[in-house]
């Protein structure tokens, strides 16, 4: 009560009763900053291949650890990365650039159920030097 | 006079936080939108480096072949995909440390490869090796 009285006398001229209606923004700012930092840290900038594929179902599906470099192979054997179709020759350079950006990232291939294994094999062969872990073939969890 | 002094002091010391708040909010919204909590799920298939060397028909290794027309062959007979898990589990029972390899001929589809790899993992195989036969 006494505090309000004092501030009123001090700021009555310029504030025009501002101190009465003013809300302390500090706690909200704290929360907003923490959220901001959280989202900056967690954002991984995954480039989705954007191809329409049907993944195979698998009972032993597990999560691909840090699988953020994602290629897709459609049923007709076309390779997609970052929503664009590309020839196999460019796959290595794109994956290398992605790997440079995020050195811990692993390669994931989304293969359509009808995708020929010859294309999958070729793509795996091209990307093999960049892989630290076995190839992760994307599947749907069955059951 | 004294009152006026205090008033101007308070005015000068206060920083207007509104522009910074605007920027922070816009950054926050940007990162929320960009953050895709997408978790890719799948199964791991190992591709041995020397894939041009033929998989040796070793007694201590389970070999499955997928032909170009998606037939699954094991122990010189054709098996159904639904029987793959039981067959692999039976072979694995004699030696649980056996290695497992799938060989695909060109033209085999990825779906069958994933199904065989899944069956093997379900049967208890630790690592699925995949060797692709190159086009002649």
For residue B53, what pLDDT is reported? 54
Residues of B in contact with A140 (CB under 8 A): 41
Q: Which of A31, A119, A121, A143 to mutate to test the interface with B (most CBs of B within 10 A)?
A: A121
Beta strand ranges found along A54-105 (DSSP E): 57-58, 62-63, 67-73, 79-81, 84-86
Q: Which residues 73-102 of chain A have a CB within 8 Å of chain B?
A: 73
**Residue extents of the structural domains in chain B:** 2-34, 61-132
- Class assignment of domain B61-132? alpha beta
Nearest CA among B39, B120, B103 for reference residue A117? B103
Closest alpha carbon within chain B to A16:
B7
Q: Is residue B52 within a helix (H) or strand (E), and if so which, with residue range?
A: none
Inter-chain residue contact B7 with A29, CB threshold 8 Å:
no
Contacts of residue B95, Cβ cutoff 8 Å, sequence gap at least 6: B60
Query: For the structural domain made of A57-141, what CATH number should be given?
Result: 3.30.420.270
- CA gap B21, B17 in Å, rounded: 6
- Cross-chain residue pair B17–A141, CB shorter than 8 Å: no
Q: What is the pTM of this model?
A: 0.71
**Spatial distance between the Cα atoms of B118 and B122, rounded to a whole number of angstroms:** 6
Q: How far apart are CA A40 and CA B114, in angstroms?
A: 35
Residues 96 through 115 of chain B touching chain A, CB cutoff 8 Å: 104, 106-111, 113-115
For tokens 């004294």, the residue is B2
Q: Say yes or no for a CB contact (<8 Å) between A61 and B122.
A: no
pLDDT one digit per residue (tens) for chain A, 143 residues: 444 444 444 444 444 444 567 788 888 888 888 888 888 877 767 778 888 888 888 888 888 888 888 999 999 989 999 888 999 889 999 999 988 888 888 889 999 999 998 899 889 888 988 888 888 899 888 76
Q: How far is A54 from chain B (nearest CA, A)?
A: 9
- ipTM given for this complex: 0.70
Judged by CB atoms closer than 8 Å, whether chains meet at B46 and A120 is answered as: no
What does the domain layout of chain A look like in residue ranges? 2-42, 57-141
């Amino acid at each position: 009560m006494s505090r309000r009285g004092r501030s009123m006398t001090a700021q009555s001229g310029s504030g025009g009763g501002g101190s009465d209606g003013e809300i302390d923004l500090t706690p909200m700012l704290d929360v907003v900053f923490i959220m901001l930092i959280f989202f900056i840290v967690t954002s991984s900038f995954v480039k989705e291949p954007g191809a329409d594929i049907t993944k195979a179902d698998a009972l032993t599906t597990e999560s691909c650890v840090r699988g953020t470099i994602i290629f897709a192979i459609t049923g007709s054997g076309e390779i997609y990365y970052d929503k664009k179709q590309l020839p196999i020759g460019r796959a290595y350079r794109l994956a290398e650039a992605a790997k440079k950006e995020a050195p811990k990232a692993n390669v994931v291939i989304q293969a359509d159920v009808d995708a020929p294994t010859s294309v999958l094999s070729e793509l795996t062969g091209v990307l093999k030097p960049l892989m630290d872990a076995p190839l992760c073939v994307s599947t749907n969890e069955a059951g | 006079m004294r009152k006026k002094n205090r008033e101007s002091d308070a005015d000068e010391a206060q920083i207007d936080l509104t522009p910074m708040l605007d920027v922070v909010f816009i950054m926050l919204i940007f990162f929320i939108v960009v953050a895709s909590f997408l978790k890719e799920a799948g199964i791991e298939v190992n591709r041995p480096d020397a894939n041009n060397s033929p998989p040796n028909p070793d007694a201590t290794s389970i070999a499955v072949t997928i032909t170009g027309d998606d037939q699954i062959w094991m122990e010189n007979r054709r098996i159904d995909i639904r029987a793959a898990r039981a067959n692999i589990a039976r072979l694995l029972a004699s030696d649980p440390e056996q290695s497992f390899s799938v060989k695909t001929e060109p033209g085999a589809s990825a779906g069958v490869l994933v199904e065989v790899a899944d069956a093997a993992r379900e049967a208890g195989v630790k690592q699925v090796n995949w060797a692709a036969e190159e086009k002649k």
